[in-house]
Amino acid sequence: MLWPDVFIGILFGVLISFLIFRNLYLYRRISYIEMDARARAETIENEAKQFLNETKLSLKELEMEQEKNYQTNLLRIKEGRNRLSEREKTLEEREAKILLGENRLLEKEKKVDQLEEKKMEILEQYKEKLELISSMNVEEAREYIIEIAKQKNRVKIAKMSRDAMQFAKDDIDRKAKYILAQATTRYAGEFAGERLISKVNLPSDEHKGMVIGKDGRNIKALESLLGVDIIIDETPGVIMISSFNLYRRAIAIKVVEMLIEDGRVHPARIEEAYEKVVKEFEEETYNDGRDVLADLGIYPMSEKLTRLLGKLKYRASYGQNALAHTLEVARLAGVMAAEIGGDEKLAVRAGLLHDIGKALTQEYGGSHVDIGVDLCQKNKEHPTVINAILAHHGHAEPDSIESACVCSADVLSAARPGARREVLEAFAKRVKELEDIATSKESVEYAYAINAGREIRVIVNAKKISDDEATVLSQEIAQEIEEKVQYPAEIKVNVIRETRSISYAK
């Protein structure tokens, strides 16, 4: 029974040894783990300290940057506040000025109201006095008061008018001279002169007898058929053909020359020659019209107007050939329109047709303006062409640049020196009318029409009129001339005021 106790003791010892060794192993294991944990903890602690330091450094840098941004923003805010304060100050100053201006305006309005009231009181007094003194009614008194006011303010009005007119005149003259210079330098027309009598040279004086015929039957047939006067005098080898109608005179010359060349002169032969020449002239006028259109490049145009255009070659006004004048106007109007932005071709067409009515005035009578308008309307011409026909003699206002250019070109063509010849009686009458209008004005001492009636010089009394009033006087005279006198081109009104001081040495 001893053996089992020994075995149990051994087993118990072994168990206790196992437990002791196991506890030692676990203790060592735990010590190792503890040492490792401490090492890791130290490492983590060091890393944490490093991270904390880095974080503190970043925070410090961020704080410094924010501080810098704060200072910058604070400076900008201060500057903005300063600018805002300045603007507020400026606005306050402006408001103060506006208030001051409003106050001044109110004061001026009050003064104006006071002056208006005073004026009304004075006018009322004038009205009462005038009605009492002259027994005028209210309308007559008003007109008289207005006239008094005009006279009192005449100098001021004259000065204002003079300044405004001078400014406008300088500007208009500059532009007009440029346009006219461009037009006139690009076109140079020839001077035209027409006479009422033409000569036909004869081979000998015997041909005078042939033209006269037995008992004058040939010359009577010629004058009756041709519508001209044939003058046969003592001048050798020449007979005269007289007629105001250039077309009929040209036909008559051609007929007489044909008869003389043929040698057979009798009424039947005269009629044959006349019919042949008329047919030739009709073809010639149509061809002349087509040549003009081709030269100006304004096709197409109706046959009627084309033929009448060629017939203007045999029409004259104040000695100026109508076709030459028409071509001048057309070319000048085209250049002017091109310079100021108008339709050049339309201006040329309007200028070419502005006097087309003159081709028929000798046959039908009446105004060439009315005839021209009627012709162009029937042939469906452009409205601007019709307006130019009406406007170039003042029957209507120009409604386009092209019409205005035609009016200016018409005046320019008619007014150039030598372009026209006037009847002496009409010229003398116009000169007298000009001088009478000028001398009828108050303060005018003398008046002289010079430069072929294109200028009137007015001498005024320097003691009765000022320089500014002289400007108004020239305008009044010019306006009255426009209303009462018929004249070509324009008339210059030159008012002269001078002061002379005379002393004598004794």
**Domain assignment present for 131:** no
In the prediction, which pLDDT does 140 show? 67
Which of 243, 262, 216 lies closest to 314 in space, CA to CA? Answer: 243
**371, 393, 415 - which closes a domain:** 415
In the prediction, which pLDDT does 155 show? 56
Distance (Å, whole) CA 471 – CA 443: 13
In the prediction, which pLDDT does 149 show? 60
In the prediction, which pLDDT does 194 show? 43
| pLDDT tens per residue across all 506 residues of the chain | 556 677 777 777 778 877 787 778 777 888 888 888 888 888 888 888 888 888 888 888 888 888 888 888 888 888 888 888 888 888 888 888 888 877 887 887 788 778 778 777 777 776 666 665 565 566 766 676 666 666 655 555 655 666 666 666 666 665 665 555 555 444 444 433 344 567 787 787 777 787 788 878 888 888 888 888 888 877 777 888 887 777 888 888 888 888 888 778 888 888 888 888 888 888 888 888 888 888 888 878 888 888 888 888 888 766 677 888 888 888 888 888 888 888 889 989 988 898 888 888 877 777 888 898 999 999 989 899 999 999 888 888 888 888 888 888 888 776 554 445 544 556 677 778 888 898 888 888 888 887 667 788 898 988 888 887 888 888 889 888 888 887 766 788 889 887 766 777 76
Distance (Å, whole) CA 418 – CA 140: 52
| β-bridge mates for residue 320, sequence order | 317
Are 309 and 256 found together in one domain? Answer: no
Are 492 and 380 found together in one domain? Answer: no
**225, 260, 287 - which closes a domain:** 287
235 DSSP assignment: S
**Domain assignment present for 235:** yes
**Domain assignment present for 124:** no
Q: Which residue has the tokens 């047939």?
A: 221
**Domain assignment present for 146:** no
In the prediction, which pLDDT does 191 show? 38
Are 331 and 381 found together in one domain? Answer: yes
Count the Cβ atoms, other than its own, within 10 Å of residue 492. Answer: 12
Which of 411, 291, 403 lies closest to 350 in space, CA to CA? Answer: 403
**Domain assignment present for 207:** yes
In the prediction, which pLDDT does 175 show? 60
Are 404 and 324 found together in one domain? Answer: yes
Beta-sheet strands, E only, within 313-454: 316-317, 320-321, 444-450
Are 388 and 452 found together in one domain? Answer: no
Domain containing 485 — which CATH number?
3.30.300.20
**Domain assignment present for 38:** no
Q: Report strand pairing: 455-460 vs 492-496.
A: parallel
**Domain assignment present for 137:** no
For 370-394, the pLDDT digits (tens) are 898 999 999 989 899 999 999 888 8
CA angle (342, 343, 346) in 5-degree steps: 135
| β-bridge mates for residue 241, sequence order | 198, 230
Are 160 and 204 found together in one domain? Answer: no
In the prediction, which pLDDT does 16 show? 83
Tokens representing 336? 């002017």
| β-bridge mates for residue 455, sequence order | 450, 492
Distance (Å, whole) CA 365 – CA 357: 10
Q: List strands edge to edge, sheet with 444-450.
A: 444-450, 455-460, 492-496
Which of 286, 289, 425, 405 lies closest to 354 in space, CA to CA? Answer: 405
For 20-74, the pLDDT digits (tens) are 877 787 778 888 888 888 888 888 888 888 888 888 888 888 888 888 888 888 8
Domains identified in the chain, total number: 4
Are 298 and 410 found together in one domain? Answer: yes
Domain containing 274 — which CATH number?
3.30.1370.10
Query: What is the sign, positive or negative, of the torsion defined by CA atoms of 262, 263, 265, 269?
Result: negative
**383, 415, 447 - which closes a domain:** 415
Are 305 and 272 found together in one domain? Answer: no
In the prediction, which pLDDT does 185 show? 46
Are 225 and 272 found together in one domain? Answer: yes
**Domain assignment present for 77:** no
Count the Cβ atoms, other than its own, within 10 Å of residue 81. Answer: 10
Question: What's the domain range around 225?
Answer: 197-287
In the prediction, which pLDDT does 157 show? 61
Domain containing 398 — which CATH number?
1.10.3210.10
Quick check: pTM over 0.85?
no
